[in-house]
Every structure is written in C-alpha cells, then in structure tokens.
Structure 1
C-alpha cells in the first residue's frame, strides 16, 4: 500500500486559494475513483472535488472553514500497490495538472444523502490499475469501467423519540426541538446554508432542521441566530468585554475571505484605477410597464430588468465605446462587438457578477429567462468560474431594494456599469398636464479614460428614450 497526497488543484481563472466547505468522506472510508471528496468554495463558486485515486482515506489535512492554498495537500489516500505502480509511470500528483477548462464545467453541489449501497466486491477492488487510474476523473474524459462508482452512504442525524416541540408542530418532520441531553449527529445542510451558519457564528448541530428529512434550511439558521441561543454555542464572535442587555454579543466579526475578499479587492482596484464619472437620468417608463403587462398576458417571460437589458444592448450598438476594455500592454482601447452582459447578484456569499454571453442577440423574454436562471444559479453557489469572467458591461438593479439611484463602481476590466432604480408611481408632466406615471431613475458610471462625457450622455439618453417609448426602436439607425 502506498499513501498519495491529493493537493488542492488550480480550479482556473487564476485563483490561488479555496476554502473547505464540507467533507463527504472521513478517515478510514474507502473511496472510489471519481467519488466526491469535498466541496470547496473559491472566490467565485462552490465546486466539488472528485477523488483521483481509489483507496482508503488515510488523513484529512484541512478542516471545514479552513482556507487552503493551491498545491497544498488536503487529503491523503492509501492506494493499492498495483495502482501505485501505475501512477509512478506518470505524475505522482495528478491534481497539480488540472486543465483550467474543468473549472468552467463544475457540477452542481449536492449534499443530499446518497442511496445506500453495498461495499465494493473483491473483484472491484482488484480491477486493473490502468482501468481505474488511466485519467484523473472529473478533470478529463470519463472513465468507462462498466460500473457506476459507488459512494459511501451518508446516514441522517439520529433523532430523539421524545423531543419537545420547538419551531413547529409535533410530527411535522423536522420542526421538533431536541432535548438538552439528546444525542446529536452531523447536521444535514447544503453548502450555502453551512456558509451562512459559519458567517453568523451558528453551530449547525444545535439547529433544529425543518426541511425534508430534517435538513437545516436558511430560515432555520436565521431564526436560530436571532433567538439569542447562538451566542452560547458560537465561536468567539465578539471582541467586547461584555454583551448587550438582551444577551447578544456586542459585536460580530466576519472573516474577509472568499467572495467578500475578492469583491473588496476588485472594487478598490477599480475605484483607484479607473477615473469614474456618474450621470443620472429620470425617465417616464409607463409605456415600458404597459409593454411588460402585455407580454405577461401572452404568457411570455418579462421583467423590467430584462427590458432595461435589451435597451442597454441596443444603446451599446450606437455607442460602442461603452462596451470596451483598456489594454494597458498595447496602449489601446478595445471595442467589443458582442455584449457579455454582467448581472450583479446579491448572494449569501457576497456580490457576484455572472454574465450572459452575446446578450445583444436575445429577445426580451429570452433575456428574462437567462437572468432568472443566472440569479438562481448564483444564489445556490453553482455558478461556474467561466461565467464570472466573460462580462463586458454590467447592470445592477438597486431598485429591487427600493432604492431610487446610486453611484455604482465599474467592474474591473469593463468601461461602464448601469444602475436602475425603483419604479415609482409619481406625479409627472404628461401631455401638457400632471398625471400619475411610472418613473425610474437610471445612473451610469463610466471610465473616463475610454468614454467621453458626450458618449456617456448619449448612451444614457438612448436607454431612457427606449424605455420612455419602446416603439421608438423601430426608428433607430
């Protein structure tokens, strides 16, 4: 038997570190080739790491919540001698040579219990090494072995029979509380929920899950954190000598890492590199609201964000300097013909800006569907890193929070970002009188190195004109 270290691979996009979110195996477990070992969180997404070896887990080198540098060993696996011999012919650490393309096709994360299966047979353990380890599965072509790799079954937490009711009626399947001396198993929760619990200083083993099969939900974690019970079980979250009168800590500290760290670095870099100019325009969008109502009545997907996105794509064709990047190496401004439309999405892990490729070729219903799928994927932590690097211009919808206007910071590498405020029913001048109209404020920030004030103003007024009168696009040239 030979022990092989599995080192944290380079997951692409120049990422140098990742945080261990959850282990799916424990020391002593037998693992198969391609079996998921752990979920890791990069600065952009949550990714599953498949095993490059078949063998027995000898050691785990990083606990959940630990940030690990690329190339550092995270788990050691004891491999049979025949596999070790086959491995010696190539790289002893195949994880160090992960093709960057794999990061863009990361499978969705799942922590649901796997169906129970029997242990591998002796024939399976003794299958030829070349068949089991000819390629690093998960980072390259699939291995055809004639069998699906088996995963060790994960059992649900033990549940006490005499539990009292807390947070839900008895027999509701997860809403009951535990007695103070009741045994507790590992909490069943998805990686985003575990991340939220970590940020709030909540011990998941203390939370009563109300989801299917006792799964802990985001609402369970938030309710527990607000109940005051988290203060007793959480790690040291306060630097103050005491607590408030209601028992809560005087302050809560959140580590700056993952998405939050990447966002902070990007915003500082943008603010102090690109000279920002922000302009505002308030528009009567009643005609756009009426168009959306007609589209929805016909069963079409539609939203104001999708309509603004379409107006932006049309305006970019007339003002290409807003869809550009600054090439320092060649001292050139590069205008881009296709629109990679970035959509700023608020997630439990922080701000993400995934993009819709070639958004200019899409209709309003197609954009609405793409935005909805993009946002859901980002909030679930399933956005592949490749979707976070193809943006050319960005929209942020601050109106969804009831905000009228703002001064957004440009995403590094882009020339402009558009913020759309809330649509409000407001007294407005209309056809020589005053009427209640749907009104919205738009604001655009642009990089003054690439975009002159005239170009930025025309871009903004083009968008406003389309939203004021959607039929006007027929007359645009």
Structure 2
C-alpha cells in the first residue's frame, strides 16, 4: 500500500516551510513517530514525526526547498500491496481529475491522498514562465537531452518543466541571476542535485544573461557570483525567522503608536544580592541574573498597572485585559530574533524564573523552540545590555501593550546618600502602545520596576 504524507499546518497558520534536512532516505524503513525531517517555518525549526510505519518510497522535496502547506512531502510504501484509498469519495473524484482534494486538511500525523495514476512522483507546479506551453524551442534544444527526457511532444516537455529541480538555495539564487531555468539543467551529481558548476556550464553553453537590472557596479562576473569568496556583495533570500520578524515589526510599528520612556536607576543593591546568590551553593546551579530580577519586577509591576498587560483588539473593537502574564523574553539566535514566552510567569518565584529563562534561551539558540511558545505573549523584555548597549527604543511585539529594554550595567560615579560614589547603574527603556497606555500609566509602571531593581527588598511589599 502506498501512502502520501502532506506537509501539515504546524499550528502557526503559516503557508510554507523550508526543508532543513531529511533524516531518512528513499528506501529506508521507518517506524511510527520516528523523526523523518527537520523543517523551518517563519518561527522555528520543527521535527516532523513519521505518521506511518513502512518504507520511504519517494522524497518529494530536497533540503533547502520551500514547500507549501498541503503539498505532498513524502510517500511511504506500507504493507498490503495496494494503493491507499483517499479519505472519502469526494477526495477520490478530485484525485481522478488531477486536482487537489478540496476537503483535504493537512494533519501532523497525516493521511495520504490517493497516488496519481501516472506512476511518477508529483511535484508542485512551477509558476515561472518556462512552465508554459510556449517554452522557447531554441533553449530547449540547447539543453542536455536527458533534461527533457528526449521529449517529442510539447505536453511531455511541459510535464517535465513542472517538476521542481533539486538544488540548494545558493544554486537557485545563482540560476536566477544568470537567467537560467533549472528545469533545463542536467545534474552531474550522483544524487541528481544540480550544482553551481552545472548552472555555470549550462549558462556558458546557451549564453544566459543576468535577468536582474544591470548597473555599473553589477557588470562583472564578480558581482554575479554572489556566493564566491571574492564576491563584492551577497544576496540572501528573505525567509524564515528573519522574514517573520520583519513582517511583525513593520506591522507593529505602523499599527500601534509607540511611545518610549527612559529611566536610569542605581541597581547596586540588586547586583550585590546577585553576588550573594552566586556564592550560595544551594543557588549556584540556577544562575540567577539581572534579567531574572527584572522579570520578577515586571510581573509585580503589571499586577499594579494592568494597562501594560492588555491587548488592543481592533476587529472586536475591544480592549482585552489579561489576568495572567505570558512573559516574552527576546532571544538572539543565529537564525534571527525570536521571542518565546514564559507562561503564567506571575506565579513563578525568582529561582523558577531564572531556570525558565535559561531553558528558554538554550532552546531558542538550538532552534528547537516550539511554535506555541512564540504565540500568546502579553508583555516582553529584551536585554540589550548583554551587547554593551546602554539604551534603545524597542518595538512592541504585535498583540502586546509594551516591551521593556534593559541596558548594560555600568560602574560609574553616582549620587548616593548625599555623596558621589561608584555605583552600578543601568538604563531602562519602556515602549508602550499609546492607544492602551497613557503617559502617566507607562511612567508609573517603569518607576515600579525601577524601585524593585533599586531596592529588591521592596518586592516583599508588592503583590
């Protein structure tokens, strides 16, 4: 029995995902729930478990390919020797007509659609002009014969052109810049993956030219070969976490009227407290830092100033007040900025907050943050001080009312008890949505947070 598995909606409502790596190969035997691939969405890297036990028949995408949700990702050969039936008669009729079943809903454990009767693996239709029946005959003749399977009929050529060539993102980028259609390029590698050399050889044979606008700076091969060590520029596709972050920040900046207020505070008492924690053997493994104390102060401040823990629901015409704190912690990773949250942070002790922050950061840097952990935050903190920055104007995460930036702790002269002394000082920057929070409310919240950092013992007085 043959069974297809379509890329599921991973719970984020995102339309596509990129194949980071396959953990199985065609012909491999797999067990139920065995991890078969890692895919990257706009928010995280997600492991896909196998929905079936059997043998991998076909991988319908290569590492680096961007696959749409609902597209066939992998085909399995199950026991039984017969093709699987579609979920219902309507889906069967749609398959017979070569269309996608209208009622098919991607599912993480997935159920396959009926295999095509042609027997060849199906790939997502290309949207480029080369998929048209009006393909340039001269270009087709210049292509290696096996690139079109010695096609005689136009329909055969069209069918070949609709298959997605196997290549890596840098190779696809080079092909785009040289005006080369990858569907016409022969792969020299044993695994059928088109290499840079294959693209360059084809371009030299047919005289392909760059399709991007040519400027005085872009007239040399050095500019076109963007991934070569000697290249003057490098072009990277905008996708994944970087794309999601950019879209979210633009949406926030042009939707919520941002106001940022600053306050510099003496945090010597907090740094001395943290030093005592570090010397305490019972607490050494918890690594309690200034971020954990700030997180506790924020939770206490939100309880006293709930306007900062609310949401502007434009569709419903309502202000939604949260009676819990899902505290987002901005984490810089190699893939870009992510802001997973600590659920119900208001119920955690300082030690528990420190442990949660540590786990959250380690998971984010490994690219293993669950999509659900980056949805539903109510307020966020970003610690720019770890980069040596004193202050900034952070952008509010969409759906939240505020974000607090922590600056670097500086040892500097400061007024203390009527005299000048060396003190540990840091700057707090609070950005808030002025639709939800007035200047007075935002300022009072910031002072509350600062008071806890100035005198951490004051946290005993707050509830």
Q: Does the alignment reach a TM-score above 0.5?
A: yes
Counterpart residue number, 1:130: none
Counterpart residue number, 1:303: 289
Secondary structure of the 2:391 match is coil
Give the drift of 1:243.
Answer: 4.7
Instruction: Indicate which of 371, 374, 378 corresponds to 2:360.
Output: 374
Summarize the Cα distance change of 1:427–1:33 in structure 2 as closer, same or farther, 3 Å threshold.
same
Q: Is 1:352 the counterpart of 2:338 in the alignment?
A: yes
Counterpart residue number, 1:267: 249
Counterpart residue number, 2:326: 340
Q: What is the number of equivalent residue pairs in this alignment?
A: 349
Counterpart residue number, 1:314: 300
Give the drift of 1:247.
Answer: 5.3
Give the drift of 1:47.
Answer: 1.6
Secondary structure of the 1:5 match is strand
Contact between 1:242 and 1:250, CA under 8 Å: does it hold in 2? no
Contact between 2:70 and 2:106, CA under 8 Å: does it hold in 1? no
Counterpart residue number, 1:241: 220
Contact between 1:342 and 1:394, CA under 8 Å: does it hold in 2? yes
Contact between 2:5 and 2:110, CA under 8 Å: does it hold in 1? no
Give the drift of 1:304.
Answer: 0.3
Contact between 2:2 and 2:82, CA under 8 Å: does it hold in 1? no
Per-residue CA distance 1:248-277 (angstroms, 9 max, x = gap): 321111211111111110000000000000
Give the drift of 1:382.
Answer: 1.1
Structure 2 CA distance, aligned partners of 1:239 and 1:71?
Answer: 39
Structure 2 CA distance, aligned partners of 1:476 and 1:70?
Answer: 48
Q: Which structure 1 residue ranges, 5 or more long, are not aligned?
A: 103-134, 138-197, 202-231
Counterpart residue number, 1:22: 21
Structure 1 CA distance, aligned partners of 2:324 and 2:219?
Answer: 52
Please identify the structure whose Cα radius of gyration is greater. Answer: 2
Secondary structure of the 1:81 match is coil
Q: Is 1:53 the counterpart of 2:39 in the alignment?
A: no
Contact between 2:2 and 2:84, CA under 8 Å: does it hold in 1? no
Instruction: Indicate which of 287, 291, 294 corresponds to 2:276.
Output: 294
Contact between 2:260 and 2:430, CA under 8 Å: does it hold in 1? yes
Counterpart residue number, 1:456: 442
Secondary structure of the 2:26 match is coil
Which segment is superposed worse, 34-43 or 18-27?
34-43
Q: Which structure 2 residue ranges, 5 or more long, are not aligned?
A: 93-100, 112-167, 172-195, 201-216
Structure 2 CA distance, aligned partners of 1:24 and 1:361?
Answer: 40
Summarize the Cα distance change of 1:47–1:69 in structure 2 as closer, same or farther, 3 Å threshold.
same
Give the drift of 1:51.
Answer: 2.5
Contact between 2:266 and 2:426, CA under 8 Å: does it hold in 1? yes
Q: Is 1:431 the counterpart of 2:431 in the alignment?
A: no
Contact between 1:10 and 1:96, CA under 8 Å: does it hold in 2? no
Give the drift of 1:96.
Answer: 5.2
TM-score (norm 2): 0.69
Structure 1 CA distance, aligned partners of 2:458 and 2:59?
Answer: 63
Counterpart residue number, 1:391: 377
Structure 2 CA distance, aligned partners of 1:73 and 1:395?
Answer: 40
Give structure 1 regions of 4+ aligned residues with deviation exceeding 4 angstroms.
82-93, 95-99, 198-201
Structure 2 CA distance, aligned partners of 1:199 and 1:403?
Answer: 35
Give the drift of 1:239.
Answer: 6.2
Per-residue CA distance 1:377-413 (angstroms, 9 max, x = gap): 1111111111111210000000000000000000000
Contact between 2:65 and 2:169, CA under 8 Å: does it hold in 1? no
Counterpart residue number, 1:75: 74
Secondary structure of the 1:28 match is coil
Summarize the Cα distance change of 1:434–1:243 in structure 2 as closer, same or farther, 3 Å threshold.
farther
Counterpart residue number, 2:188: none
Give the drift of 1:19.
Answer: 0.4
Contact between 1:240 and 1:251, CA under 8 Å: does it hold in 2? no
1:108-257 to structure 2, matched below 5 A, reads 241=220, 243=222, 248-257=230-239
Secondary structure of the 1:366 match is helix
Q: Is 1:64 the counterpart of 2:63 in the alignment?
A: yes
RMSD: 3.0
